[in-house]
Copies of this chain bind each other. A is one copy, B any other.
Amino acid sequence: MAQDAPRRQPTLDQVAELAGVSRSVASRALNNAPHVSRLKREAVERAVRRLGYVPNSTARALATRQTGAAALVVSGEDPSIFADPFFAQVIVGASAALEEADLHLMLCLAASDRGRRRVEELLRSNGADGVMLMALREDDPLARMAEEATMPVVFGGRPVGAVPRWYVDVDNAGGAREATEYLISLGRTRVAALCGRLDTEAGRTRYRGYRDAMLAAGLDPFPPREGDFTESSGAAAMAALLTDRPDVDAVFAANDNMGVGALRVLRGAGRRVPDDVAVVGFDDLAVAQVSDPPLTTVHQPIQALGRETARMLAALVNGQNPTALILPTRLVVRASA
């Protein structure tokens, strides 16, 4: 164990010495570079095995200016955000893609001031080869940091207001439109929208998709009722809606959590779902399947979001020039609409 034995790992010099070659040759042999005779290459390999040599990644990083790591930075104020099923899926996708690209994954939470400082330092100290940035709010200080970063940055989900050069996003507008159109196709005419935070791009864009669909159908869009993507905010918005517009016959919720909250309030108010009020959510998380009734929702490919974001970053790190990507959504019809 580290403590007791501060004896150091073998170095490349020792390998070279044991193999009877120079350090340059040993280095080339190790990296499968040309200009090494078969004989010496084998001698080096033997020495490596005998010594149990593994190149020191820090030294290599310093010399090559490549750390071999990519950071996934998540903004937000809740330190539990990694436990959010959404981000958990993103992590799964990103982790897989980075493994393929032989990059390590660093997870950074920019929730507290301290967290943000650490992220800024990481960005500026070249502690990683690139960064994936997610869940930026309006005026998020991370946006400025990203601009000043010296390494490639890919956004997972567009930041509010800006269209960065490299991002991967889900077709929020299209998904919202499809969901709303579906509700309209069921004959509903008083379709309300329960919005997520309007200082997030997803919150805004989903409302916009809803509004576009309503206008296109010649219906009056309801004004946005803002929540914060939580179950309780969905419930609160639904309750308020029921007071203001008791005639509502359909609800498009900005995500599944809010949709489930709406379901709960509707049930409490004695409205039948979907008979009296149809409800559609967004995300297609596990909760949508176990809710009562199961939630019709817009499925978004969350793992793919993580995967493609990571792939795009890996491409940038490798000097390629990928283009921004928008992933499709898909309506999943269940019992609630």
Binding site for B on A (CB under 8 A): 1-3, 5, 9, 52, 54-59, 61-62, 65, 67-69, 79-80, 82-85, 88-89, 91-92, 95-96, 99, 102, 104-109, 112, 114-115, 118, 121-122, 124-127, 130, 149-153, 165, 290, 316, 319, 321
Contacts and interface: CB of A to CB of B under 8 A. Distances in A.
A92 B106 contact: no
A38 B140 CA distance: 36
Contacts of A89: 83
B92 A88 contact: no
The oligomer's copy count stands at 2
Given A3-B152, A59-B62, A105 B107 contact: yes
A305 to B, nearest CB: 13
Nearest to A7: B150
A64 to B, nearest CB: 10
A3 B316 contact: yes
Q: Which of A84, A91, A316 has its CB near the most chain B CB atoms (within 10 A)?
A: A91
B3 A321 contact: yes
Contacts of A84: 88
A80 to B, nearest CB: 5
Given A69-B106, A82-B95, A104-B108, A57 B127 contact: yes
